[in-house]
Homo-oligomer: A and B are copies of this chain.
């Protein structure tokens, strides 16, 4: 029989599934989940899908069903060049590559760059999906410090000098899990550090368009294009089920990322890419994005208000200008795993923050709350019940 012995050495890195156990309770009836990270189904442009499908079939015909190049569907790359330019990233369509979700480029980056025991620098806390993409390649994670303005550039510089990481992974705007955004001055400093130390920075930006207040901040990629891989996605502004992401990378990295992707899936779904191309170039995106923003803004406000009203003293939390998450932190000594058990009894779920740290023992008093899925009344009631659970434990 087939046994564990037959697995590759690298599979031992893919073992951790603790968070899956946590998420299993979500299917229990009556539970309100603030644990997820999914867009609300009402955020999908369902009323436009018929038209989009018809356009794809009329305009692209068999090309939407045929094999395509690994680099991606040209009409989508062309539409993205315009979109990116409006977001301060100036590049040519031929330097925009399409991936199967942003997850696809994270996997390719791991494959192409990380030899076992290579250092990879991540924010503390960081995005779990990136760790899942990198883990099989055997990195040694090094945490960089953050505060309410996200990554602290001095910490990044120190980590780079001490560990020479193969890559620095960042979600600079409305980060998952904290919702925090790195301000412009820090971004300039991060770009300078990347250049002066010749370090590759991954700027993962799936949430940047979900801005409910304030002004957009220039991407780091715009300030250090030769040192940054900029990753975007249609998952939060169109539909995650299409699995369409994209990236812009320095030349040599790009060449290898394409080759890695070819071995993994040949190319991303042509039909999905064609739908995204029509969504972007046909004016649907510009019409639809404000609706998503107007859907999520009151949800976020409801959550922040309820936290203000119900959460006990000693707790603090982020007040992001956009994104999908609020990050809360209890006073020292609080264990959000214990709060979690109590919260489940009260029919509310969240993600204990420790899962977003690469160092054992970090983040014990933190938690991530998502506000995109439930409606405002449900959010308020759930935050109230969560606060009850907290008070029981603290």
Output the least CB separation between A117 and chain B (Å): 11
Interface residues in A34-83 (C-beta closer than 8 Å to B): 38-39, 41, 44, 46, 49-50, 53-54, 57, 61-68
Cβ of A271: which chain B residues have Cβ within 8 Å of it?
239, 241-242, 269, 271-272, 275
The reply to whether A66 and B49 contact each other, CB–CB distance below 8 Å, is no
The B-contacting residues of A in range 257-278, CB under 8 angstroms, are 259-260, 262-272, 275
Q: Is A7 on the interface with B (CB-CB < 8 A)?
A: yes
- How many angstroms between the C-alpha atoms of A9 and B256 in the bound complex? 13
A1 adjacent to B136 (CB under 8 Å): no
Are A67 and B38 in touch, CB under 8 angstroms? yes
Within 8 Å of chain B (Cβ to Cβ): is A183? no
Name the contact of A241 in the complex, choosing from B1, B49, B65 (C-beta under 8 A): B65
Chain B residues whose C-beta falls within 8 Å of the C-beta of A62 in the assembled complex: 41, 44, 46
Per-position contact with B for A7-19: 1 when CB-CB < 8 Å, else 0? 1111100100100
**Are A111 and B129 interface neighbours, CB within 8 A?**
no
Q: Report yes or no: A267 in contact with B243, Cβ–Cβ below 8 A.
A: yes
**B residues within 8 A CB of A68?**
241
Interface residues of A in 85-135 (CB under 8 A from B): 100-101, 103-104, 107, 111-115, 118, 129, 132-133, 135
Out of B57, B104, B112, which one reaches A8, CB within 8 Å? Answer: B112
- Nearest Cβ on chain B to A366's Cβ, whole angstroms: 24
Query: Given that A62-B46, A200-B2 are known contacts, is A241 also in contact with B269, CB under 8 Å in the complex?
Result: yes
Question: Which of B4, B198, B226, B227 lies in contact with A252, CB distance below 8 A?
Answer: B4
List residues of chain B with CB within 8 A of the CB of A166: 6, 8
Q: How many residues of A contact B (CB 8 A)?
A: 76
**Distance, CA A269 to CA B245, complexed state (A):** 12
Taking a contact as CB atoms under 8 Å apart, the answer to whether A111 and B136 are in contact is yes
- Cα distance, A239 to B44, chains bound together (Å): 25
Residues of B within 8 A of A50 (CB): 53-54, 57
How long is the Cα–Cα vector from A272 to B9 in the complex, in angstroms? 33
Contact between chains at A66 and B14 (CB < 8 Å): no
> With a CB–CB cut-off of 8 A, which chain B residues contact A272?
269, 271-272
CA distance A3 to B61 in the complex (A): 41
Number of copies: 2
A290 at the interface (CB under 8 A from B): no
A240–B133 touching, CB < 8 Å: no
> Is the pair B111, A10 in contact by a Cβ cutoff of 8 Å?
yes
One of B136, B241, B260 near A263 (C-beta < 8 A): B136
Q: Which residues of chain B are within 8 angstroms of A263 by Cβ–Cβ distance?
A: 14, 103, 107, 129, 132-133, 135-136
How long is the Cα–Cα vector from A39 to B67 in the complex, in angstroms? 9
**Which residues of chain A in 205-255 are interfacial with respect to chain B, using CB atoms and an 8 Å cutoff?**
226-227, 235, 239-243, 250, 252-253
A137 at the interface (CB under 8 A from B): yes
Give CA–CA (A267, B243) in the complex, Å. Answer: 8
Q: A111 near B66 (CB under 8 angstroms)?
A: no
- Whether A241 lies near B266 (C-beta < 8 A) is no
Other A-B contacts than A7-B113, A11-B256, A264-B265, 11 sampled, CB-CB below 8 A, are A1-B226, A6-B113, A8-B115, A8-B137, A14-B260, A44-B65, A65-B240, A103-B264, A129-B266, A136-B260, A239-B271
Sample of 6 A–B contacts (CB below 8 Å): A8-B111, A63-B241, A100-B243, A103-B265, A107-B265, A111-B136
